[in-house]
Chains A and B, each alone.
Chain A
Amino acid sequence: MSAPGTLPRWAELGLLPVINLVAALLISGVVIMLLGESPVAAFKLMAAGSVGTQEGIGYTLYYATNFIFTGLAVAVAYHAGLFNIGAEGQAYIGGLGTALVCLWLGAWPFWAVLPLAVLAGAGFGAVWAFIPAYLQAKRGSHIVITTIMFNFIAASLMTYLLVNVLIKPGQQSPESREFSVNAWMPSATDVLARVGVGFAATPLNLAFGFALGAAVLVWLLVWRTRWGYALRVAGENPAAAVFAGIAPPRVIIGAMLLSGALAGGLGLNELMGSQHRILMDFPSGAGFVGIAVALMGRNHPAGIIVAAVLFGALYQGGSQLSFDMPKINRDMVVVIQGLVILLCGAMENVFKAPLAKLWHGCLARDPKPTGGTPAPR
């Protein structure tokens, strides 16, 4: 059945990413060695720091929460044939919505604040994505360009708001006052304590659950609804979409609204869950990491969760590494992350052909003793 160069599904989805990851770590190991540290010790430190302790796990999943939101945002747009580079700005503005609810209505009970904060975050993020979507759908302005520009516009707008409007009076740092405790997302420690499980104090909070829920929702929407079908048709083959009576402009706008809303979820984790205030540049690149996460996760929610946790572990493990091995500073950690993105995302198929060759080589050898057909290779 399979042509040369193809692999069984399990190998393609399971084995190949692992090989890519190992390759990335091997190259990183060489760099670490050149810096005069032991790669084995470094990776042990990273692994222990990211998944070896409760605190490590907490931080890893906390970072992963951000990446799940932004990864899903990128993936939904991707399925509609759109490259949304603007998850960063959408997350930033989405967080503004969440923060405004928490600041204004923070005195309300949590169960009342939460749905409003979720809606405001998603709504603000969606609005921010709507403008580039509209320009693409109706004016043909390329969405890559407009979403990049909108990241900058978001940053300018937020700087203005944080410095002039939202800043806590008399304070140096451009950040708002702390949210009222009612508007805090329950931490994992508290949630688990309620069911009698002890867990270290980390920024991990209930937003992680929202992220997982969003992943399920995206899966349902994209693969199980008529709307998702139309979205995928328009993304794969716009001409066929017109043939089918699906209007690509409407799909573009719908997909970007959802994409922006998902990115807007980041504020739940970062602001409501961890910082408890809105501060300058809080997405700190998660929108861009989302692109790598979506790429690595093959734009599928399950893959995105796995990739997001991996990136969360790299973030957390990386900060442990630079903490305990001063020679490996934070720039070196960025290099390791970059290598993982490069090999698992951009060059994911480098090892595919050799692996396929090996695979088919094994298959071809099998029948030889019994079949007796001379294999030329």
Chain B
Amino acid sequence: MSLCAAAFFASPVYAAAPAFAPAIVYDFGGKFDRSFNQSASEGAEKFKKETGIAFREFEISNPAQREQALTQLARRGATIIVAVGFTQASAVEKVAKQFPAVKFTIIDATVDLPNVQSVNFREQESSFLCGMAAALVSKIGKIGFVGGMDIPLIRKFALGYVEGAKFVNPKIEILQNMTGTTPAAWGDPTKGAELAKSQFGRGADVIFHAAGATGIGVMQAAKDAGRLSIGCDSNQNYLHSGGVLTSAVKAVNVAVHKTFLDAKNGSWKPGVIALGLAEDGVGYALDEHNRKLITPEIEARLNQARADIVSGKIKVSEYKAQ
């Protein structure tokens, strides 16, 4: 034990390990959440497949483990660590200071340190387009939104969605529900289905979910009711072909994959990266599963709006905590 202790104190920073060693830390949802963390995991797996370089990974199960996991990965010679999710921001800030030679990339939050890259997405922009699409197909002018927890990130989705819908139809009514107040809200398809049924019952045509695995229930309920849903984070159109209007895609997988590649090639840079429609970091999904739902007229309007957002003609508000 004393030997180990000595090792700890001798040089907590021996990250000058020569080999390239990528690592990734997922948050509470875990890497099989069919959503955000899973998308990150897919990006990492893709990198591994292409380069043959293995990566270390860890799933958090309590708050104290965030810092512990980052520290251990850094100490064991990881050269680039991707921290998935805004909840890891404070842990990244703390650990990055202790290991200045290790590169950190945080997704969905900003940490201002010389060895940290912050990747943020402008979810409001894709949500805006989804809101427009919903408003365009809605026959009675009533659409729905089901969020996971009432947290800033989800309000960001909701706000963009509402603005997009009102852009098309200023009188449109938007029903909004949050699933719960504990992290269980991200993995409760039953509750998601109940909320969706309730919104359909009140007349909604289309429901957009931003609720992780809970959204699976929302989409199932839409199919059962013969109405439409909008997927989130990854392209979920295939889940119910012809029943999913579109998906608000967030290219976390692309970001993770690119981070690893850049770090390997030496082109990784610290700083803040914001990915929106212009960078193809977010978007709405159009494929054979929803081709019939998105008519050429709708597609034309969405593409016009997309161009206007990119050019700055349309300003989409970003939710900010006061």
Tell me the A residues contacting B by CB distance below 8 Å.
52-55, 59, 62-63, 152, 155-156, 158-160, 163, 167-175, 178, 198, 200-201, 203, 270, 274-275, 277, 279-282, 284-285, 315, 319, 322-323, 326, 329-330, 333-334
CB distance from B152 to the nearest CB of A (A): 5
In the complex, which residues of chain A have a beta carbon less than 8 angstroms from the beta carbon of B86?
A: 172-173
**Docked CA distance A54–B3 (Å):** 10
Tell whether, in the assembled complex, residue B150 and residue A323 are in contact, meaning their CB atoms are under 8 Å apart. Answer: no
Given contacts A170-B321, A285-B62, contact A323 B152 (CB under 8 A): no
Tell whether, in the assembled complex, residue B321 and residue A198 are in contact, meaning their CB atoms are under 8 Å apart. Answer: no
Tell whether, in the assembled complex, residue B57 and residue A326 are in contact, meaning their CB atoms are under 8 Å apart. Answer: yes
Tell whether, in the assembled complex, residue B87 and residue A173 are in contact, meaning their CB atoms are under 8 Å apart. Answer: yes
Name the CB-closest residue of B to A151: B182
Tell whether, in the assembled complex, residue A54 and residue B1 are in contact, meaning their CB atoms are under 8 Å apart. Answer: yes
In the complex, which residues of chain B have a beta carbon less than 8 angstroms from the beta carbon of A277?
A: 90
**Docked CA distance A169–B321 (Å):** 5
Interface residues of B in 255-287 (CB under 8 A from A): none
In the complex, which residues of chain B have a beta carbon less than 8 angstroms from the beta carbon of A167?
A: 152, 321
Interface 0/1 of B155-166, CB less than 8 Å to A: 100000000000
**Docked CA distance A333–B59 (Å):** 12
**Docked CA distance A198–B4 (Å):** 13
CB distance from B59 to the nearest CB of A (A): 5
**Docked CA distance A275–B93 (Å):** 12
Tell whether, in the assembled complex, residue B64 and residue A168 are in contact, meaning their CB atoms are under 8 Å apart. Answer: no
Residue B99 CB within 8 A of the other chain: no
Given contacts A152-B181, A323-B58, contact A274 B64 (CB under 8 A): yes
In the complex, which residues of chain B have a beta carbon less than 8 angstroms from the beta carbon of A326?
A: 56-57
Tell me the B residues contacting A by CB distance below 8 Å.
1, 4-5, 8-9, 12, 30, 56-59, 61-65, 67-69, 72, 86-87, 89-90, 108-109, 149-153, 155, 180-183, 320-322
In the complex, which residues of chain B have a beta carbon less than 8 angstroms from the beta carbon of A285?
A: 62
Name the CB-closest residue of B to A172: B86
**Docked CA distance A167–B181 (Å):** 16
Tell whether, in the assembled complex, residue A59 and residue B151 are in contact, meaning their CB atoms are under 8 Å apart. Answer: no
CB distance from B183 to the nearest CB of A (A): 6
In the complex, which residues of chain A have a beta carbon less than 8 angstroms from the beta carbon of B322?
A: 169
Question: Which of A160, A198, A319 contacts B68, CB < 8 Å?
Answer: A319
Tell whether, in the assembled complex, residue A156 and residue B8 are in contact, meaning their CB atoms are under 8 Å apart. Answer: no
In the complex, which residues of chain A have a beta carbon less than 8 angstroms from the beta carbon of B57?
A: 326
**Docked CA distance A141–B180 (Å):** 25
CB distance from B216 to the nearest CB of A (A): 19
**Docked CA distance A22–B30 (Å):** 30
CB distance from A112 to the nearest CB of B (A): 26
Name the CB-closest residue of B to A199: B5
**Docked CA distance A163–B150 (Å):** 7
CB distance from B165 to the nearest CB of A (A): 23
A-B contact list, 20 entries, CB within 8 Å: A52-B4, A54-B4, A54-B8, A59-B64, A159-B149, A159-B150, A159-B151, A163-B150, A167-B321, A172-B86, A172-B89, A174-B151, A270-B64, A279-B63, A282-B63, A323-B58, A323-B69, A326-B57, A330-B30, A330-B59
Name the CB-closest residue of B to A276: B90
In the complex, which residues of chain A have a beta carbon less than 8 angstroms from the beta carbon of B153?
A: 172
Tell whether, in the assembled complex, residue A198 and residue B5 are in contact, meaning their CB atoms are under 8 Å apart. Answer: yes
Given contacts A173-B89, A274-B64, contact A322 B321 (CB under 8 A): no
